[in-house]
Amino acid sequence: MTPTQRRFALGGGFAAAALLFLFAWRASLVPATHPDHDHGILNLDAGGRLMVEKRDASERNLVGRPGKVMVVHFFAPTAPGAVEELGALFAAQERLKADRGIDWVLIARARDFASLDSWLAENKVVPPAPDSLYLDPKGETTQKLNCKRPLDTMFFNADGKLASQTRGPADWTAGAIARINEARGGATIE
């Protein structure tokens, strides 16, 4: 092997090692979770990557300070009670649509938007804000957020701190409004 070939081989080895390091580093960027607790991530502003798929096939990272109340709702279309839960949630979303201080993030465990839209139409559930629907087809973000139920909701305050969390279906009349107001007031469960 000539000196030039050795340099290329050594340089290629360093480049491959650097790429592997960067890939491992990027994949490990997840905010701290609490697997021994029933709640998920306490602080979205801790850095990392919590990616969900948008309708236009781009991605949204949920990490950071949202600047307003963020309602993160998880649902699986196959879950018992999902239709009723979404119907009540969509009614609340419609009532609160003038409130620009709420960011609705409804994460579906569905393979694509075509199947989700078909399921919504089949069940006669119409979202008032279709852009608030996101996909987590493999369940990676749901798992990173430590969501343990097919219907679960987390309420984050404007700083990205978890204010409260429902366990299972939520009361989308007075109960959820009270949770949104708590989050708006800066409450945290820490």
Phi, psi (degrees; rounded to nearest 5) at 72: -110, 110
pLDDT at residue 31 above 60? no
What pLDDT, on the 0 to 100 scale, is given for residue 87?
95
Tens digits of residue pLDDT in 44-100: 887 778 899 999 999 999 998 999 999 999 999 989 999 999 999 999 999 999 999
Question: Which helix H or strand E contains 183, and what residues bound it?
Answer: helix 174-184
Cβ burial 10-28 (10 Å sphere, 16+ → b, else e)? eeeeeeeeeeeeeeeeeee
Give the percent of the chain with pLDDT over 90: 53
What pLDDT, on the 0 to 100 scale, is given for residue 19?
76
Q: What is the mean pLDDT of the chain?
A: 86
Contact 141, 62 (CB under 8 A): yes
Alpha carbon dihedral 137, 105, 31, 170, in 10-degree steps, equals: -100
Phi, psi (degrees; rounded to nearest 5) at 126: -115, 120
Instruction: Kindly state the tokens that stand for 46.
Output: 């801790």
